[in-house]
Amino acid sequence: MISTRVATHGPRGSKQASTQFLKTLNGLNTYSAGLRPTFVAIHHVQLAQASQRQFSNTSKTSKIDEFFPQKETDKVRRTPPAWPHPVYSYNDMESVVVAHREAKSLSDKVALLAVKVLRWGLDFATGYKHEKAVALNGKDPEAARKKYAMTEEKYMIRNVFLESVAGVPGMVAGMLRHLHSMRRMKRDNGWIESLLEESFNERMHLLTFLKMSEPGWFMRFLVLGAQGVWCNALFFAYLISPRTVHRFVGYLEEEAVITYTRQIQDLDAGRLPKWEKLQAPQIAIDYWKMPEGNRSMRDLLLYIRADESKHREVNHTLGNLDQVEDPNPYVSEYKDNEKPHPCKDLKFQRPTGWERSDII
C-alpha cells in the first residue's frame, strides 16, 4: 500500500519507527545546510506476508529517504516547467463543481460506457467502494466506516494510479495530430500544444504525489500494464474517432473531479487526520505558484481538482468541434475579449464544455 506505516519489530525498532512516524504526521521537513528544504517521506518497518501486495517499498530499518531528490549540477541553477501554469484564484478553485454532460449521440454513449468500465477496474484495483459505503451507511454508519472508509493511504494509491494513466491521452492525441499535420502539410490550428500541455499537467500531478509516497513493486506492475494497454488502445481509438476519445477523456475527468471533491470533503470532515497539517511539496509550490499561507494538503487538492475540471471542459469542448478544420479555442484570440469564451484559467468556467456555435 502506498503509505508510511509502522509495525513492531522489537522494542527498539518500534520506538524508532514510532518517533519518525509522529514527525511525519506533524509535517516536519528535513533541512540540509546550504540547500532549500525538501519534502521527504519516511520508510517505516513493517512485517508483510510474502503474498501481500506491495503498493509501497519498505526497508528493514527505519530511515529517511527522499523519493527523487533534485540533482545539483555545476552550471544549472534550476529547470522551470516547460509550460508555466496559469494562476488560479482561491474563489475560482472553490467554485469548481461536480458536473456531468448528458450522452446524446452514439459516440457519446460509447465513450461513457468505456469510462464506466475503466472506473470499475480502477475502483477494484484501489479498493474504492463509495457506492457500497453510502448504501451501508444508511443502515449502519459505524459498520460502513470500518469496512469501506477511505484512508489517506487508500486515497494516495488511487491518486497515483489515476494520474499515472491520465497523462497518456494528451500525449497520444498530440503525437497523432502532429504526424497528421505533417502528412497533410497543413497547420493543426493550435490543438497539439494544448494536448501536450494537458499531458504535462497530469504528469506534474503524479510527480507531486510521488514526492509524498513511493509506489512499491505491485503498484509499479499495475501502472506498467495499464500504460501498455491504455496507450495502444487510445492510439487506435484516436485514429478511428478523435471526437469519441475527447468525449471519453471529458467523462474521465468528470470522475477525477468527483474523486478529488470527495477527498476535500473527507478532509474537511476530519476523516483524514494525517493530511490536516500536511504541507505541499516544493515541486507543487513552484509549479502552481502557491502563495504563502495556502500551501496545505487541502490547498493542493483544490489546485489539482481545478486542473481536472479544466481538462473536463477542454475535452468536452474539443469533442464538439470539427476535428480537422476548427481552431483550438483555448489558444485563440477573440474579437470581443470581454464576452465569455474558452481560456486557460478559471475565469469563464463551462463544466460540460462549450458548444461550437458559441465559440466558432
Domains defined along the chain, listed by start: 90-359 (1.20.1260.140)
- Digitized pLDDT (tens) for each residue of the chain, 360 residues in all: 444 443 444 444 444 544 554 444 444 344 343 343 333 333 333 333 433 445 544 333 333 345 566 677 777 777 777 788 999 999 999 999 999 999 999 999 999 999 999 888 778 766 777 667 767 766 777 777 777 778 898 899 889 988 988 999 999 999 999 999 999 899 899 999 999 999 999 999 999 999 888 778 887 888 888 888 889 999 999 999 999 999 999 999 999 999 999 999 999 989 899 999 999 999 999 999 999 999 999 999 999 999 999 999 999 999 999 999 999 999 999 888 888 999 999 999 999 999 999 998
Query: Which H or E run contains 43?
Result: strand 41-43
Query: Which H or E run contains 65?
Result: strand 63-65
Q: How far apart are CA 124 and CA 150, in angstroms?
A: 13
Which residue, among 120, 149, 96, has the nearest Cα to 301 in the 3D structure?
A: 96
Q: How far apart are CA 357 and CA 9, in angstroms?
A: 66
In the prediction, which pLDDT does 159 show? 92
Residue 311: C-alpha distances to residues 36, 49, 243, 246, 353 (Å): 32, 40, 15, 10, 10
- State in Å, rounded, how far the first CA of the chain is from the last one: 48
Helix 217-240 to helix 242-268 angle (10° resolution) is 140
Cell numbers for 106? 452514439
Query: Which H or E run contains 310?
Result: helix 297-318
Q: How far apart are CA 47 and CA 170, in angstroms?
A: 40
Using the structure block, give the residue that is written with the C-alpha cell 487526520: 273
In the prediction, which pLDDT does 146 show? 72
Q: How many CB atoms lie within 10 A of CB 138?
A: 8
For the chain, how many residues are written?
360
Q: How far apart are CA 281 and CA 346, in angstroms?
A: 23
**Contact in structure between 83 and 197 (CB atoms under 8 Å):** yes
Residue 63 pairs in a beta bridge with 43
Chain centroid, CA 360 distance in Å = 30
